[in-house]
Chain A
Amino acid sequence: MGVTARCAFWCALLPLLLSLPLAGGRGAEEGQASAVPSKLESVLGRDVATAYEGDAGRIIDLLVDRDGTVRAAVVEFGGFLGIGTRKVAIEWAAFRFSGRSIAVDVSREQIRAAPEYKATDSTSLVRATNE
């Protein structure tokens, strides 16, 4: 069993070692992309932090009005291994883009109080906090 255990250990470690330089390479590529201001990027799946407390979420959908103007984004917060995640619709004006990071001007209390986003409902949006 000693051999099996050792094999198991290295097999588990190998992809970790492999994925480290991979992740580094991707970071460099992204750095380049932000150096060209006119380049357009997808925001789907991008990380979002609330402005004050830094709770992390991820943009999973964009909501537009009849004219096609983006009015809100659906952000998925929290959870562990996909269990207990929470989808909240936040008005587009609350999003702040600076370089690689996206922040939203809403507080954790607002996210906590917001209803879970459902595609079928008429959406109630979380508004930007007025400073």
Chain B
Amino acid sequence: MPSALRRSERGLDWFTFFVADIQTGFGPFLAVYLTTQKWNQADIGLILAIGSLTGLASQLPGGWLVDVAPSKRRIAMLAVVGIGISALLIALMPSFLGILVAKLLHVASSSVLGPAIAAITLGLVGHAAVGPRLGRNARFASIGNGLAAGLMGAIGYLISPQAVFLVTAALALPTLATLIQIRESDIDPTLADGGLNGPAASLAAAPVGIGRLLRKRSLVVLTFALFLFHAANAAMLPLVGTEMAMRSDRVVLPIVGTEISMGQWASALIALCIVVPQLVVAAIAPGVGRLAVAWGRRPVLLVGFAALPARAAILAINSDPWVIVAAQVLDGICGAVLGVLVPLSLADIARGSGRFNLAQGVAASATGIGAAASTAVAGYLATAFGSGTAFLGLAITAAAAFVTLLVAMPETAPKTSMV
């Protein structure tokens, strides 16, 4: 029995790894691909807007669906199949209708897949062990992200942008294979919804009302802080990328001694800015999970939320490419803390409610709205007043997120699990 559970846990390791892989191509890269398919800018803008709006609208229904689904594994499976088909459609049918269907399919699948991974995790190991386990998930996801960014970037550059989506579709198969390694019988469906098991179960047989969950102070504060955090965070890397493209001078490679073109150098620096945080997350996420048990959630969350204004402030006053790359270490700290602590705090908050996944949908909605606001406002600030002002605006927003948590966020860890 314990060895069977270990097999399920190892399945979960690689499942989070491959899910990160199959999600990489769907980001800003889609716009690049569509221009190579002779799409005009108006249509690309339209499809991206439809994608982000339906994405926002689908987070709550997605979380709700995972709560009511009897098998979290089966719904995760459907979501992976949906993402695979979406990638295939994008590669083989780049007409407006084809891309529209693919985009909607991807949005719907992703809104289910995100909460489903956390639900499977909670259902597999239970509330007491979920902190370190979420840390392990974050480690495997970021290794997947980092490798996929390198792989997809190379494939897009060396073979064709279309090949990125063919590889994505093919990677859905090992993703499914790893999901099957997680035994259905190892996932407790009640625990996966944030319900209680054992003697307490009879007291809270039915899930609590949605309204009661949504009025919980800890959920309201965390949701608002997440909105502010992503309002500060989402525009930062794209803005850094544009900065890199504009400021990097003629470059002589330090060791090789050959000069490379400005465009290649800027692309390489942006790639570094993407990979560095993933390395940091991979290194520290399990430790973050253990700290959240030892110290409680609040202090660890505060460390993560403090790293963002620090990073924004560095970017506001400095434009040296190497300092910018170094500041991405702070992004890794944010990534590790949020990747572990957000689902963990939500599991605390929704504990006994049977609505863990709906709570995840609430957090994901706030994240999405914040990110949308971020790109719009920072884009405006950067064009109107320059990127320094834009970074300053983001730094102030990030500081507001930190203060929100500092002033209003209660400790959510159950008393018994603290050491």
Q: Does B71 contact A (CB under 8 A)?
A: no
Contact of A83 (CB < 8 Å), options: B41, B241, B383: B241
Binding stretch for chain A, among B61-69, B95-103, B262-270, B340-348: B262-270
Contact of A76 (CB < 8 Å), options: B35, B173, B244, B271: B35
Complex Cα distance A32/B380, Å? Answer: 46
Binary interface encoding of chain A residues 41-59 relative to chain B, with 1 for a CB under 8 A from any of its CBs, else 0: 0101100000001111110
User: For A83, what are the chain B residues with a Cβ–Cβ distance below 8 Å?
Assistant: 27-28, 237-238, 241, 270, 274
B40 CB, nearest partner CB in chain A, Å:
7
Contact of B30 (CB < 8 Å), options: A60, A78, A79, A82: A82
Binary interface encoding of chain A residues 7-45 relative to chain B, with 1 for a CB under 8 A from any of its CBs, else 0: 110011011101110010000000000000000001011
State the main secondary structure of chain B at its contact with A.
Answer: helix
A side interface size, CB within 8 A: 41
State the main secondary structure of chain A at its contact with B.
Answer: mixed
Contact of B246 (CB < 8 Å), options: A12, A61, A86: A86
Seen from chain A, the residues whose Cβ lies within 8 Å of a Cβ on chain B are 1, 4, 7-8, 11-12, 14-16, 18-20, 23, 42, 44-45, 53-58, 60-61, 74, 76-86, 108, 112, 116, 118-119
Q: Does B240 contact A (CB under 8 A)?
A: yes
Instruction: Assess A54 versus B261: contact at CB under 8 Å? Given A1-B14, A78-B267.
Output: yes
Instruction: Assess A1 versus B266: contact at CB under 8 Å? Given A81-B24, A83-B241.
Output: no
User: For B270, what are the chain A residues with a Cβ–Cβ distance below 8 Å?
Assistant: 78-80, 83-84
- A84 and B241 contact, CB distance less than 8 A: yes
- B29 and A81 contact, CB distance less than 8 A: yes
Q: A79-B32, A82-B32, A84-B267 are in contact. List 9 more A-B contacts (CB 8 A).
A: A7-B174, A8-B177, A11-B173, A16-B155, A76-B32, A76-B35, A83-B238, A83-B274, A84-B244
